[in-house]
Structure formats: C-alpha cells, structure tokens
C-alpha cells in the first residue's frame, strides 16, 4: 500500500466521531462573517447596515485576484459591519447578520438530485468556483479559483482529491466521502474538466474503509478516476506528502508549487463545495465541522452555516467539561488553541477539538539532547532542532539557508521530541520572519527596476 517516503509519525487516531452521521445544525440567530476567511486580501463589503439579505447572497466582494467572496449564510438583516474577535482574541472586520426565517436565493438548486452532466467549458467552471467564494476547506483556505488558474508554461497532469484526513480526531472529510460520495466524485470530474486533465486520483488513508468502499463504488463508472487507499501516516494529508504518496513525485522547495510536478490537490470537502457551486449554483455558505475530543460527551459531525458561534456547537456536543481544558480550532496536531469560543465558524474550520486533563497541557520543556528524532520525523527533510535554535537566537540568514520556508507546520517534530521542546513555536516565528524578509527583498528588487 502506498504512502510518502520521508519522515512522518503515527499519532493516536482518536477518530471518536467516525461513526457519527452528519447532522444539520440548528440555524443560528446571529452569524458573524469575517471578511478575511481565506489567504489573501480581505474581502470588501457590498452590503450596508440595515440591508436585507437572503442565503447565498453576496455580502463581500473579493479584493483583487488572491481573495475570496463572502456570502450570507442566513437570511435576515445586516446589523453591523465592525471588528469582531476571532478565536485568538484579535479583532477582525466582519459582517454581522441577524437571522429572520430561512429564505434562499432563488437560483440555488436545493434538491438532492446528483447532476452528472456538465456543458460548461473549463473557464466557465473556474468562474463559477470564483463566484461561489470557494477556498481550500482543509484548513489552508487558499482560494480555489487561484489554484485552478494554471500559470503559463505549466501543465496539470493530475487532479488529486485529498481524502487522507491524517489529522487525529477529525472526521469531517471522512463523513463527507462516506455520505456524499457521488457528489464528491462529480466534483472531482468538474475539476478535471476545468483543468483539461484525464487522470483523477483520490487518496484515502486505510483507516476509513467505509469511505474507501463508497468512493470506489461511486467512481466505478468513470475509468479516469482511481481511488487509492493509503497506508496511514501523519501528515499524509499535507499537499506535498499526498503528491509524493500518490505519484512518487517530489515538489521542490518554495517558491515551487505542486503544479510544477503537474498536480492540483483539493480537499474532499472542497471538491463537494465545487460540485455544489457549479451544478447547484450554491455558494459556500455551510460546511461540515467535526466537534470532538475526549472532553466532550457526544462527539459529532455537524453541517454548520458559516458564522455560527463555535460555543453553540460545543454545547450541542455535550458542553465543555469541568476544570481546565484546551479547545483547538482543528485537530491536536495542526489546530490552534482558542480563547474566544464565541468566535464564528469560518471557511477553514474543519473541526473543534476539546482536550481535557493531562491532554490539555504540554509537558515542561527540558534540554535538547540532540537525539535527532525531530530530524527523522520531519516530512520535509528539515532539521527542526537547528531551526528552532536559530529562531531563538534570531539567526534569520541561517534559517533561510536551512530552508525554514519549506516547513509545513505539521508539528511532527514537536510531537516526537522526548524533551517536549516547543520546536514548532519557534520555527513558526522563524518562518514568518524569514518569509517577511524574502517578500521585502522582492519588493525592493521590483521597485529598483
């Protein structure tokens, strides 16, 4: 069975919610839609306070090419356009809508029928994806239409559907692939058509046999689509790791992109959103969120309107446990701890993990014994202990030479460190600083020209 070659670890799976079917979450009374739910420039509001909006109506237009639209996720009145706290306690501009009824935009097809025919051209498909405000729903939130716009001189050979979901605890993609396999397969075909590609690979880790079976069944009609079971290893769902696992090709270090080896990777939930946008004219207004963790009584997979407060989701799953706990946006490996649970669900929120007791806190850091476990675990072939030290000593040039910008922030180094050192914390700081330096240098160069 296939997997990627370099590094990787095997954290406990803890897929508590794997058997929980997707439930539609009750409509929230108020939604908060941040203008920046994606990588790139924040969107610009096109509604004013007091306006009445319906579900699926455009409320904020993309600002420039690398940006994404935001649509109303409930029908009602816009009550405020103001900075609101994000999960990390920092204010970011957002549109606040108070819900009245549940009125959808008339062009949206809400029937369950799976549409298999598509008469649109590739460019039209990409335009529909852009208009729907779709971004990578796996967590990276990179605008999908930008990813599908292939730079001149490159050619896509594969569409890869990322169904690895290697992150412990999270099961949203798994449930989407199990329950809506037909639509995901149609979405993958649309992506292939948009790119003019004849080969689609769907990579799913072998701890999801039901999803593999359903997807294989749904894809059986189409010879160009192949469902590939993958041997479990974290971070298989990393774009570069998945490409390596499925095609054996290695993406060179930045600024190279997956398209340089002919691959375009999209997460399974994103592919479902693409299908809905193209065939049902439905913009990205809801997503599946896993609410899980050993601290919760009833781990669930919920279909949630964007902008719903996360605290409401936690309440439905049994509420926060007694005592101190850690609430993560995402899973335990890549998730970020949250301090504002009233913050809204955004496009990139694939799960909420509640850890309690001993899981909730880190072990005290000790001294590095140079065991090099982090080097062996790094799926990008970096030297995490050196990068971490370099960031502490502010040796930015050394970090750049050590290829810190290649770091995918998967957290393998930190998870495997026997001294419990906060390696990733420092490397992330180093990566931010070095990326800033590289950008500044590029700016200086262009302005000199």
Q: Rule CB under 8 A: which residues touch other proteins?
A: 88-91, 324, 336-337, 339, 361-362, 392, 422, 425-426, 428-429, 432
Phi-psi region of 41 (alpha: psi -120 to 50; beta: other; left: phi over 0): beta
Least distance between other proteins and beta carbon 298 (Å)? 25
**Residue closer to other proteins (CB basis): 229 or 348:** 348
**Residue closer to other proteins (CB basis): 39 or 115:** 39
Least distance between other proteins and beta carbon 429 (Å)? 5
**Structure token digits, residue 243:** 């490409």
CA–CA dist 27, 24 (Å, integer): 9
**Residue closer to other proteins (CB basis): 177 or 341:** 341
**Residue closer to other proteins (CB basis): 252 or 418:** 418
**Residue closer to other proteins (CB basis): 265 or 415:** 415
Least distance between other proteins and beta carbon 79 (Å)? 17
Least distance between other proteins and beta carbon 37 (Å)? 18
Least distance between other proteins and beta carbon 88 (Å)? 4
Task: Order the strands of the 58-61 sheet from edge to edge.
Answer: 44-45, 58-61, 70-71
Least distance between other proteins and beta carbon 426 (Å)? 6
Least distance between other proteins and beta carbon 90 (Å)? 5
Pairing label, strands 200-205, 158-163: parallel
**Residue closer to other proteins (CB basis): 116 or 392:** 392
Sign of the CA dihedral 216, 219, 222, 223?
negative
**Residue closer to other proteins (CB basis): 228 or 415:** 415
DSSP 251: P
**Residue closer to other proteins (CB basis): 46 or 320:** 320
Least distance between other proteins and beta carbon 276 (Å)? 33
The answer to whether residues 356 and 325 touch, using CB atoms and an 8 Å cutoff, is yes
Q: Which of 104, 112, 40, 28 is nearest to 71 (CA)?
A: 104
**Residue closer to other proteins (CB basis): 206 or 392:** 392
- For tokens 């669900």, the residue is 345
**Residue closer to other proteins (CB basis): 39 or 120:** 39
Least distance between other proteins and beta carbon 341 (Å)? 11
Least distance between other proteins and beta carbon 368 (Å)? 13
**Residue closer to other proteins (CB basis): 88 or 121:** 88
**Residue closer to other proteins (CB basis): 19 or 89:** 89
Least distance between other proteins and beta carbon 293 (Å)? 17
**Residue by residue, what is the 3-state secondary structure of the chain?**
CECCCCCCECCCCCCCCCCCCEEECCCCCEEEEECCCCCCCCCEECCCCCCEECECCEEEECCCCCCCCEECCCCEEEEEEEEEECCCCCEEEEEEEEECCCCECCCCCCCCCCCCCCCCCHHHHHHHHHHCCCECCCCCCCEHHHHHCCCCCCCCCEEEEEECCCCCCCCHHHHHHHHCHHHHHHHHHHHHHHHCCCCEEEEEECCCHHHHHHHHHHHCCCCCEEEEEECCCECCCCHHHHHHHHHCCCCCCCCCCHHHHCEEEEEHHHHHHHHHHHHHCCCCCEEEEEEECCCCCCCEEEEEECCCEHHHHHHHCCCCCCCCEEEEECCCCCCEECCCCCCECCCCCCEEEEEEHHHHCCCCCCCCCCCCHHHHHCCCCCCHHHHHHHHHCCCHHHHHHCCHHHCCCCCHHHHHCCCCCCHHHHHHHHHHHHHHHHHHHHHHHHHHC
Least distance between other proteins and beta carbon 428 (Å)? 7
């Amino acid at each position: 069975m296939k997997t990627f070659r370099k590094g990787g670890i095997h954290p406990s799976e803890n897929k508590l919610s794997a058997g929980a079917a997707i439930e539609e979450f009750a409509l929230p009374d108020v939604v908060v839609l941040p203008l920046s739910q994606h990588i790139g420039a924040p969107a610009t509001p096109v509604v004013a306070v007091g306006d009445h909006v319906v579900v699926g109506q455009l409320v904020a237009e993309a600002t420039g090419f690398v940006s994404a639209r935001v649509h109303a996720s409930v029908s009602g009145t816009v009550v405020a356009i103001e900075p609101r706290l994000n999960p990390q306690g920092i204010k970011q501009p957002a549109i606040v809508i108070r819900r009245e009824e549940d009125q959808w935009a008339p062009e949206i097809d809400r029937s369950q029928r799976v549409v298999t025919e598509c008469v649109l051209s590739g460019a039209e498909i990409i335009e529909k994806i852009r208009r729907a405000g779709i971004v990578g729903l796996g967590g990276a939130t990179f605008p999908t239409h930008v990813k599908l716009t292939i730079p001149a001189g490159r050619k896509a050979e594969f569409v890869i559907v990322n169904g690895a979901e290697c992150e412990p605890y999270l099961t949203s993609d798994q449930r989407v692939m199990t329950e809506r396999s037909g639509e995901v397969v149609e979405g993958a075909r649309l992506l292939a058509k948009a790119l003019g590609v004849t080969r689609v690979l769907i990579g799913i880790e072998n701890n999801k046999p039901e999803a593999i079976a359903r997807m294989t069944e749904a894809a059986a009609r189409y010879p160009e689509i192949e469902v590939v079971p993958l041997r479990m290893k974290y971070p298989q769902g990393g774009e570069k790791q998945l490409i390596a696992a499925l095609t054996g090709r290695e993406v060179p270090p930045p600024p190279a992109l997956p398209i340089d080896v002919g691959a375009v990777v999209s997460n399974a939930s994103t592919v479902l959103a693409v299908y809905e946008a193209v065939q049902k004219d439905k913009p990205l207004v809801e997503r599946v969120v896993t609410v899980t963790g050993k601290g919760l009584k009833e781990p669930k997979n919920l279909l949630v309107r964007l902008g719903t407060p996360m605290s409401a989701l936690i309440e439905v799953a049994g509420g926060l446990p007694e005592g101190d706990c850690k609430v993560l946006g995402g899973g335990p490996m890549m998730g970020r701890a949250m301090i504002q649970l009233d913050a809204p669900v955004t496009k990139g929120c694939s799960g909420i993990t509640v850890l309690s007791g001993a899981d909730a806190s880190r072990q005290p850091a000790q001294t590095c014994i140079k065991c090099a476990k982090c080097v062996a675990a790094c799926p990008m072939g970096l030297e995490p202990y050196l990068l971490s030290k370099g960031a502490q000593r502010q040796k930015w040039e050394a970090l750049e030479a050590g290829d810190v910008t290649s770091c995918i922030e998967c957290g393998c180094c930190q998870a495997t460190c026997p001294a419990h050192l906060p390696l990733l914390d420092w490397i992330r700081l180093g990566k931010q600083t070095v990326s800033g330096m590289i950008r500044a240098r590029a700016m200086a160069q262009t302005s000199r020209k």
